[in-house]
Amino acid sequence: VKVGDDSNGVRGLVTERACATGDVLLEVPLSLCISDGAEDNGDLAGAAPKWTWSLPWNVQLALAAHERKCDPSDAFLASWPTEPPPLPIACGPEELSLSSDPSLPTKADEAFFWLDEQYWLAREAAEAAGVQVAAEADAADAASTFPSVGAFREYMYFVWSRCLRLSTGPRHGTRRLLVPLLDLANHDAIPSAMYAYGCGEGCGPSIRLHAARD
């Protein structure tokens, strides 16, 4: 596969040659993924910082992504777009009113305030762990090891739109993961590929994308 555009102009993964059902289209080593952490099922190379493990999984992934984003040589985070996806939580009242779900505005409002609360809880955990935190919560300091309010919100948007949940075997259990390249596999009403955990001789424990049809 390669990164390209589908027939609707949506950026994502496209096949470069004919493939048969079951073919492995993409294989990403588990060690290159960003994952949530858990005391009871072993560390992963890309697990969120240990001081975040008491926080919700999505907060863990957002903070881990921010930490990696501060490294200019990290190709994974460099592949993300500059603007987060337009999730419902970020939409205005007029946009939300167009939804066929009348409860969506209320849910988006609740999520907005939940997100704000999680930022301050995460900030307290960071300070307790001795993590560098900018003097002003809203300071946009890219070099800081803790994000600003705005950056935290954007990382959460990315996590919600790109995260996978799957079992990674008996050692690591069920984890939430951000997987390089595989996070560009956009959804389809009739999926052309499916992802699964695997372990091969080439790269060991990995996340694979299999062709679901020819």
Which of the two residues, 65 and 142, has the higher pLDDT score?
65
Q: Is-contact 115 191, C-beta < 8 A?
A: no
- Please check the confidence at residue 195 and state whether its pLDDT lies above 80: yes
Q: How confident is the model at residue 136 (pLDDT cuts 50, 70, 90)?
A: low
Q: Is-contact 175 207, C-beta < 8 A?
A: no
pLDDT value at residue 63: 95
pLDDT value at residue 124: 95
Query: Comparing C-alpha atoms, which of 149, 132, 131 is closest to residue 140?
Result: 149
- Mean pLDDT across the stretch 79-107? 85
- Please check the confidence at residue 138 and state whether its pLDDT lies above 60: no
User: In the structure encoding, which two tokens stand for residue 17, read together?
Assistant: 């040659």
pTM of the full structure: 0.87
